[in-house]
Amino acid sequence: MRNTIGNFRPSFVAALALAVAGTTMSLNSRAEDTFMPACYKPAPGVTTTIKYPARQGPYRVALVNGYTGVPWRTQMIQQSRAWAARPENARSIKELKVVSTGSDVAAQIAAIDNFIQAGYDVIAFDPVNPKAFDAVIRRAKRTGTILVAFDNPVDNSEILQITPDWARFEGIRTQAVVDQMPVKKGRLLEVRGPAGNAADRDLHFGMQKVLRQYKDIKVTEVVGNWDTGTVQKVVADAIAVNGSFDAVTCQYGCQGVTRALQAARSPAIPVGGDAANGFVKALAAQKLPGVAVSTSPAQGPVALQASVALLQGKAFPTLAYLPIPHVLTKDLKSGVHYFPNLPDSYETVASYLDCGVVFEPDEVNKFLHNNN
């Protein structure tokens, strides 16, 4: 089931409950009335905005990450720390506390509850799954703690959510792969993320939407769990069982795809993947027709920026979609789209220009320590 927030229409009773809790939501607001509309764009069909009474700063801010061991998450935390340390931001932030809880949704909810009980002003969190957070959202509302979900959506329309349009994200990737197939038929390998995750769900939906137009393309699914080593293994196993494929799409950890293809001496088939440095370098080095599609780890700072703005009384669309940077193999440039002297795990798209959140590698790398 896809997130239905775009169809949310609060009743009078629901609107009253929100107002009592210190939140106001309004209908049919104009995008230009919200904070940084070029960055935080309302999702199609979303006409509701969310706003809280302004509070005096500086603020106590928490960031609750879920999955660990994923380089994107590590860099997201680094960039969040770096953003909060900038003098123009630090004056508004009394404290930034970051924790990572792994894939256990109960542990993530417990961490959010701990910050609520400790009196934090706002908690930004990257949800483990979309369906488990209604109760903790109610508890936060009762205490006046603001919650902001980012990266992965939740199936709840009463908090600000900031995310790429994952269905469109995968539509861009899948269409680019199909466009580079010499004939629009054959076997495509889909490398999915963790089961039950909202992003994986919506990415898969976006892929299916594109492939409905191509009846002669048959899909084989494997689960790579967004982990490079796991991706390499499941792709190698799929090739061993099924023989060569005509194309591959991969959500994340996609250097595992290029390694498996190289080990199997596969022909240069179209590959769609992430924007991690190792994958993008491999596209260029192995001359694989393909596409790198990015969700920047700057999502963390973008969520923190929104968190502070909410505390200052600014309005946002209830569901905000972020830009989706992408580049084809034929357009790749060293030093722009990939970096030979940086680690393979470095996320090459470190910024969201429309959001005013811009990073260079040196600033990010100062915050390698204490990365929960």
Find, among 330, 197, 181, 303, the residue nearest to 251 by Cα: 197
Delimit the CATH 3.40.50.2300 region(s) of the chain: 5-165+297-322, 166-293
State the number of CA atoms in the 13 A half-sphere of 6 facing the CB: 10
Reported as a pLDDT band with limits 50, 70 and 90, residue 323 is: very high
The secondary structure of 279-339 as a DSSP string is HHHHHHHTT--EEEE---TTHHHHHHHHHHHHHTT--EESEEEEP--EEEGGG--BTTTB-
CA distance 302 to 35: 12
* DSSP class of 340: T
| Helices 134-143 and 105-117, axial angle in degrees (round to 10) | 0
User: Beta strand pairing status for 59-65 and 122-125?
Assistant: parallel
For range 52-67, the mean pLDDT: 96
Model confidence at 20: pLDDT above 50: no
Model confidence at 7: pLDDT above 90: no
For range 54-79, the mean pLDDT: 95
Check whether the bond before 182 is cis (ω within 30° of 0): no
Which residues, other chains included, contact 110 with Cβ-Cβ below 8 Å and sequence gap of 6+?
Answer: 101
Reported as a pLDDT band with limits 50, 70 and 90, residue 3 is: very low
Two structure tokens written together for 209:
């939407």
pLDDT tens figures, 252-292: 999 999 999 999 999 999 999 999 999 999 999 999 999 99
Model confidence at 132: pLDDT above 80: yes
pTM: 0.88
pLDDT tens figures, 37-49: 999 999 999 999 9
* Torsion from C-alpha of 317, 100, 133, 305, nearest 10 degrees: -10
Model confidence at 5: pLDDT above 90: no
**CB-CB contact of 326 with 294 (8 Å):** yes
- The CATH homologous superfamily for domain 5-165+297-322 is Response regulator (3.40.50.2300)
* Torsion from C-alpha of 72, 127, 146, 164, nearest 10 degrees: 60
Q: What are phi and psi of 344, to 5 degrees?
A: -60, -30
For range 299-325, the mean pLDDT: 97
Q: pLDDT: is 63 or 12 the higher one? A: 63
Query: What angle is formed at CA 190 by the lines to CA 187 and CA 196, rounded to 5 degrees?
Result: 150
Tell me what the pLDDT averaged over the chain comes to.
90
CA distance 90 to 21: 28
For range 332-340, the mean pLDDT: 96
pLDDT of 363: 85
For range 120-124, the mean pLDDT: 98
Q: pLDDT: is 23 or 160 the higher one? A: 160
For range 301-328, the mean pLDDT: 97
pLDDT of 13: 30
What residue type is assigned to position 252 of the chain? Y
Model confidence at 327: pLDDT above 80: yes
CA distance 302 to 306: 6
**CB-CB contact of 58 with 91 (8 Å):** yes
What residue type is assigned to position 164 of the chain? P
Domain 166-293, CATH among 3.40.50.2300, 3.40.50.10860, 3.10.580.10, 3.40.50.300: 3.40.50.2300
* Environment class of 37 (CB within 10 Å of its CB; exposed 0-12, middle 13-18, buried 19+): middle
